[in-house]
A and B are shown apart, each in its own frame.
Chain A
Amino acid sequence: MIGTGILKGMAVTARNFVGSYFEKERLITVQYPEERSPLAENYRNFPFLPYDGDDPHAGLRCVACKICEKECPPQCIYIVKSDDKKPDYMGKPQFYPAVFDIDISVCMSCQICVEVCPFEAIKMDKEFELSKRERFNNLLQRKEELAKPNEYYHKICPTEAAEVDGKLAAAAEAAAKKKAAAAAATPSAPSKPSPPSASS
């Protein structure tokens, strides 16, 4: 009979409409600013630079190797290498970025910078409410705005941050061991020529 298809469709709509009063599962919309659905742990949008300790300058892991600048597909990273060096987390003197800018109006959140970084120095943030009143300086994020403490990274992605910390601690330990071994090996070497110099 003509019209049964329409009536069947109406019945489905009516079932969903009435059902939404009784079943929580059928209510699928979230009233956004008041209610928020939780973010997935893997969620990513823009990069930030985690730093260890309290000082954003001393604790910054970035060594200004410029790999991310080169690999970034839309070329939104701009780095200027420093003239002097500062000790990194292993105590090794390294360059640091004098300028580190990310233009977040160009960034496309692909996280290739995170993948190519050999120093775990750049990670993806989860902040998504980024509307700004001014679109030039506010959307170009400087080093000071990008640097965020490691605790913040632990807060947004606990599992991944713990993994990274473990990796860095292992690297620092290996470096310290190597240094200790080198220190144990070297005293005998320079000590031999030193007596003649002391005698002369």
Chain B
Amino acid sequence: MNVALEGEIVRKLKPVFGYLHRNHEQIGEQTTYLGSMPYTDRLDYFCSMTNNWAYALSVEKLVGIEVPERAQYLRVILAELTRLQNHASLLGFLLSDMGAWGTPLMYAFREREKILDLFESLSGSRMMCDYMRFGGCRVDTSDEWLARAKQIADRFPKFLDEFDALILGNEIVIARTQNVGKLSADLAISAGITGPMLRACGVNYDVRKVDGYGFYPRFKFRIPLGEHGDTYDRLMMRALEMRESVEILKQALAQIQPGPIVNPKVKIRAFRPPVGEAYGRIEAPKGELGFYLISDGGPNPYRYRVRPPSFINLTVLEDLCLGHTVADVMVILGSVDIVMGEVDR
């Protein structure tokens, strides 16, 4: 980013994108529908499961595919595990940006590691999961896997309590984050901000509640809301959302029943959706992630568009940073929660 300074105060700021641009949308228009699925892992490489889900959801909308019950539960479980590990590592990175080198990040990565091990034993890869398929999921889970997931969900609040004691009550953290990088609700709505960053401003908008995609209407959970829209609210929003995710996980793991995991009517080879268009969106850990597809009846989409939360959340960076010092810019940028793979595509 380019920053104009007056002493140490930021007077002008311009984020510069494009260093990681790799033609994701153009590649999506040239490969088959299934072939784009592994590429979506590379968008936001922290949360490949939710990326897969958003893409699968938009193709399912385009074709009108039913998803079996067990697959829906598995998707919810995996999405909430992804949210846990994304928010945990975000807290670590944000505190690392603030100068708490290493320790909080290692605590967060210790928990993230357990979730990644789960992903690895299920899908074969830690980060590039490529697990969802149109009309379901790729491989079935074992009961042992579900038991391990339950154990992680049960133990996670203990980690959150430890993390609260470790750093979230720390006076330096509070001094560095409160009243820094304030975002007003009006600006957030008009700029199209979504996800925890929007809810930190006190706007009650969560696609899980608004759209009720998947089986989310079946679960009881609350949406944490902030009040001031500053960096501290954004930080705490993640900590509180993790607790709600644990609640969803516990309910989903208790309700899941054996059954088929993929719709047998969906063809793997020679998959051609009918002519039409569809926009599927989900609440990814970073915000609303949507895929817009236009089909001309061929084996690859005519138009493949990604609505990335990181990119759109980053556009208000200048408004957040004006009048603050250079040291605060790092903290504000960290609290936006961006992954460059998704910003540039």
Q: Are A5 and B171 in contact (CB under 8 A)?
A: yes
Contact with A along B34-70 (1 / 0, CB 8 A): 1111110000000000000000000000000000000
Chain B residues numbered 236-256 whose CB sits less than 8 Å from any CB in chain A: none
- Is the Cβ of B166 less than 8 Å from the Cβ of A13? yes
A71, B166: Cβ atoms closer than 8 Å: no
Is the CB–CB distance between B124 and A116 below 8 Å?
no
Contact stretch, chosen from B115-123, B201-209, B281-289, B315-323 = B115-123
| Chain B interface SS verdict (over half) | helix
For the complex, give the distance between the alpha carbons of A42 and B139 in Å. 9
A residues in contact with B120, CB < 8 Å: 40, 42-43
CA distance A6 to B167 in the complex (A): 7
Which one, B117, B124, B167, B174, contacts A9 given CB within 8 A?
Answer: B167
Question: Is there contact, CB below 8 Å, between A9 and B170?
Answer: yes
A124 to B138 Cα, complex, angstroms = 15
User: Does B162 sit within 8 A of A, measured CB to CB?
Assistant: yes
A12 to B104, CA, bound (A): 11
A73 and B171 within 8 A (CB): no
Determine if B38 and A112 form an interchain contact, defined as CB atoms under 8 angstroms apart.
yes
Interface residues on chain B, size class: 20 to 34
CA of A44 to CA of B120, assembled, Å: 9
Contact of B113 with A by CB under 8 A: yes
Chain A residues, Cβ within 8 Å of B36 = 73
- Once the chains are docked, how many angstroms separate the CA of A111 from the CA of B38? 9
**Within 8 Å of chain A (Cβ to Cβ): is B179?**
no
CB of A115 within 8 Å of the partner chain: yes
- A105-144 toward B: CB 8 Å interface, digit per residue (1/0)? 0001111100110000000100000000000000000000
| A91 located at the interface, meaning its Cβ lies under 8 Å from any Cβ of chain B in the complex | no
> Does B151 sit within 8 A of A, measured CB to CB?
no
A136 to chain B, nearest CB (A): 23
User: What are the interface flags for A61-101 relative to B under an 8 Å C-beta threshold, 1 for contact and 0 otherwise?
Assistant: 00000010001110000000000000000000000000000
Which of chain B's residues has its CB closest to A10's CB?
B166
Q: How far is the CB of A65 from chain B (nearest CB, A)?
A: 11
Take A71-B32, A111-B130 as given contacts and tell me if A5 and B38 are in contact as well, using a CB distance cutoff of 8 Å. no
Q: A3-B171, A28-B110 are in contact. Are A111 and B124 (CB under 8 A)?
A: yes
Q: Which residues of A contact B128 (CB under 8 A)?
A: 108-110
